[in-house]
Chain A
Amino acid sequence: MKRAGFAQPWLPMLLLLPQLTIIVIFFYWPALEAVRSSFYLEDPFGFGSSFVGLENYQILLESREYRRVALFTLFFTLCVTFFSLAIALLLAVKADKVLRGATSYKTLLMWVYAIAPPVAGLMGAMLVNHSNGMITHLFGAAGYEFRNGLNYSDTAFTMILVAIWKQIPVNFIFFLSGLQSIPVSLREAAKIDNKSGTSRFWTITFPLLAPTGFFLLITNITYALFDTFGIIDVVIKGEPGNNPLTLVYKVYVDGFRGNDLGGSSAQSVVLMVLVLALTVFQFRLIEKRIHYT
């Protein structure tokens, strides 16, 4: 609030109205609806629903398949987050360092941001095509028969590879802007204090990038959980079958294909709790240590 704010009573309400209407109808209502229907069992033939309490959750937690999906989601998220952050950090450090061609490298490394996930998935699918994909050939040359869509871990590999590729630009941009916000004099002071560039990176630059890093960690986990839907859908060609799936994809499959409204809703609620936990964690971290001013 500004000190000298306006005092009109109706205008601000009018200004808030569109935003509030939209979020109430398309956010709060569906979110509550998800919570509500997670306690109900939908009749498969559409004859109403009955209250079942926590049964949907119980079924969910006892389901071996759900646990398998959750485990894969964890693995997928860890891989995507770790590799896309690590690669982007390496590239950002180098792009920050070179003098010649820095702008061109920046452009070349960030433009993939604009490509839609399913388009990236389509490229991946073409590259791992069973009969003539280039990556398939590469594996073939190494004596391994790569079978995307048939072999569980091969499909997982494709999904992870594409998801990393798609996320590198965002991480790169943030790391680079983080690096560039480190004052020049600080780096120079470090140069006088420490001869080794590697040691300087780990003792000065890296800790100073921590705020950016933690922010990106959360962003990347969120990305891997939610924004990879398009990649996964295209890589597995819309066929869940025995393919690796993430939790979000399973919500979609059970809800829209399996018509298991209660189960899908329970899964939604689990995801909501997960995201909330992640956010709380994020705020805790921000509060606790990681900003220097």
Chain B
Amino acid sequence: MANVSVKDVEKIYPNGFHAIKGANLEIEPGEFIVLVGPSGCGKSTLLRTIAGLEEASSGEISIGDRVVNDIDPADRNIAMVFQNYALYPHMTVYKNMAYGLKNRKLPNDQIDTQVQKAALMLGLSEHLDRKPSQLSGGQRQRVAMGRAIVRSPDLFLFDEPLSNLDAKLRSQMRIEIRKLQRELGVTSIYVTHDQVEAMTMADRIVVLNGGKIEQIGTPAEIYNSPASVFVASFMGAPPMNLMDAVADGNSIALPGGALPLNHEVHGPVTIGIRPEKAVITDQANGATLPFTHDFTEELGAIRLVHGHLGDTPFVVHRHDDAPLPDGPLFVSVAGENVNVFDQATGQKR
């Protein structure tokens, strides 16, 4: 177990591309951190910089209180699981797992013990003599995990490790990875573009956009009070309903009505409302907005009601099976469920 500290890390490529713009991140020992963001946001670059596969242009990275900027990747005592697994195709499963240990000059019997233990943990004991090409996608994924585990590293790095698996296997491996990580207690950094993975796996999520860290927080914090319009729109499916409006103290004027706020804001803002925090009624009052229904998406457990407020599309979750009331519809939202962002900067207000 080790803590990881990233201080003012910048990464500028020789071609001038500014991939990471001043990243700061403190990771507690044993924590599972997920870096999430759209492609090109710098999440992989940050991970690879921590791994030592890329050199930081400036700033400082430490693993377990040791500054590692000038230390070779092999000496950082880390393990990495790659998107396409990066298994050595010419080596058997056993050799794949043992390779890193051999290069550290561990005695053979110790290597064997560790490989067997990891294989047992991952259900690979019967496949140790196979080549990666003889394994299924899920098995390859396990070998990649095994290769990381046997090293007993200070830090696990995962670079979109599940994106090559089908949906069913993916959700299964999600749980398995998290279980293993808890058992081993190894600090982990996990990169993904899939916000479901981020929400379900992370102790804390780091949302990146355009090379900048937008927000660091627990999944609940990120979901319930996103720090910016970007986070609000990126996390959650379906995404948060967003619309431009003008705030006037304790309420927000919108076409056909107004919504309450639980704190005082003035001026042009963007408001965000989670689909499940809005309620559809046929009773109008001072704190409702007229809602035009377009169509309903049936998802089994819930229904997504698509429509619009004025000209802005708006989606509402409905959990009860009852049909929508006839006649004019309205949406009501409690004040604490209205997220308010500055229209110019996109930051929370």
A and B touch in the complex (CB under 8 A): yes
User: Contact: A192 with B133, CB < 8 Å?
Assistant: no
> A42 → chain B, closest Cβ, in Å?
54
Q: Which segment, of A183-191, A214-222, A248-256, faces chain B?
A: A183-191
Interface residues of B in 100-122 (CB under 8 A from A): 100, 103
- Is A279's beta carbon under 8 Å from chain B? no
Q: Is A50 an interface residue (CB 8 A)?
A: no
A207 within 8 A of B: yes
How far apart sit A203 and B95, CA to CA, in the bound complex (Å)? 11
CA distance A196 to B90 in the complex (A): 19
Give Cα A192–Cα B133 distance, bound, in whole angstroms.
22
Is B51 close to A, CB under 8 A? yes
Bound-state CA distance A190–B100 (Å) is: 8
Contacts A192-B51, A192-B74, A192-B79; is A183 near B100 (CB within 8 Å)?
no
Q: Which residue of B lies closest to A206 (CB)?
A: B90
The reply to whether A195 and B86 form a contact with Cβ atoms under 8 Å apart is no
B99 proximity list for chain A (CB < 8 A): 193-194, 203
Please report which residues of chain B, range 65-114, place their CB below 8 angstroms from some CB of chain A when the two chains form the complex.
72-76, 78-80, 82-84, 86-90, 99-100, 103
**Quick check: is A31 within 8 A (CB to CB) of the other chain?**
no
Q: Which residue, of B14, B90, B100, B133, has the highest number of chain A Cβ atoms within 10 A?
A: B90
Residues of chain A from 272 to 293 with CB closer than 8 A to chain B in the complex: 292-293
User: In the complex, are the beta carbons of B103 and A293 less than 8 A apart?
Assistant: no
**Is B73 within 8 A of A208, CB to CB?**
no
Partner of A193, one of B14, B53, B103, B131: B103
- Interface centre among A189, A192, A204, A208, by most chain B C-beta atoms within 10 angstroms, is A192
Contact present for B89 and A208 (CB under 8 Å): yes
Q: Which of A167-198 contact B (CB under 8 A)?
A: 183, 185-186, 188-196
Are A194 and B103 within 8 A (Cβ)? yes
| Closest Cβ neighbor of B98 among chain A residues | A193
Beyond A188-B82, A192-B79, whether A292 also contacts B103 by CB under 8 A is no
Closest A residue, CB atoms, query B131: A292
Complex CA distance for A183 and B14, rounded to whole angstroms: 22
Nearest A residue to B144, CB-CB: A189
Q: When chains A and B are docked, how far (Å) is the Cα of A210 from the Cα of B14?
A: 33
- Contact check, A292 vs B74: say whether CB atoms are below 8 A apart: no
**B124-138 interface code vs A (CB 8 A; 1 in, 0 out):** 000000011100000
CB of A199 within 8 A of chain B?
yes
> A residues within 8 A CB of B131?
292
Which of A186, A196, A293 is most buried by chain B, counting CB atoms within 10 A of its CB? A186
Are A208 and B84 in contact, CB atoms less than 8 angstroms apart? no
Give every chain A residue within 8 A of B103 (Cβ-Cβ).
193-196, 199
**Cβ-defined partner of B84 (8 Å) among A183, A190, A193, A293:** A183
**B78 contacts which chain A residues (CB < 8 A)?**
192
In the complex, the answer to whether A207 meets B90 with C-beta atoms within 8 Å is: yes
Quick one: given A186-B88, A204-B88, A292-B90, are A191 and B82 in contact (CB under 8 Å)? Answer: no
Query: Which chain B residues border A292 with CB–CB below 8 Å?
Result: 89-90, 131-133
Compute how far the CA of A191 lies from the CA of B83 in the bound complex, rounded to whole angstroms: 16
Give the chain A neighbours of B75 by CB distance below 8 A.
195
- Kindly state the separation between the CA atoms of A195 and B53 in the bound complex, as whole angstroms: 12
Contact among B53, B79, B84, B89 with A191 in the assembled complex (CB-CB below 8 Å): B53
Residues from 195 to 237 in A contacting B, C-beta threshold 8 Å: 195-196, 199, 203-204, 207-208, 210
From A192, A194, A196, A210, B80 is in contact (CB under 8 Å) with A192
In the complex, besides A192-B51, A203-B99, A208-B90, 13 extra interface pairs with C-beta distance below 8 angstroms are: A188-B51, A188-B53, A189-B82, A189-B86, A190-B88, A191-B73, A192-B80, A194-B99, A207-B90, A208-B88, A208-B89, A292-B133, A293-B89
9 interchain residue pairs of minimum CB distance: A292-B89, A195-B74, A193-B100, A189-B86, A185-B86, A185-B82, A194-B103, A207-B90, A186-B86
23 A-B pairs (CB sep. < 8 Å): A185-B86, A186-B86, A188-B48, A188-B51, A188-B86, A189-B80, A189-B86, A189-B147, A191-B52, A191-B53, A191-B73, A192-B51, A192-B53, A193-B99, A193-B147, A194-B100, A195-B75, A195-B103, A203-B99, A208-B90, A292-B89, A292-B132, A293-B133
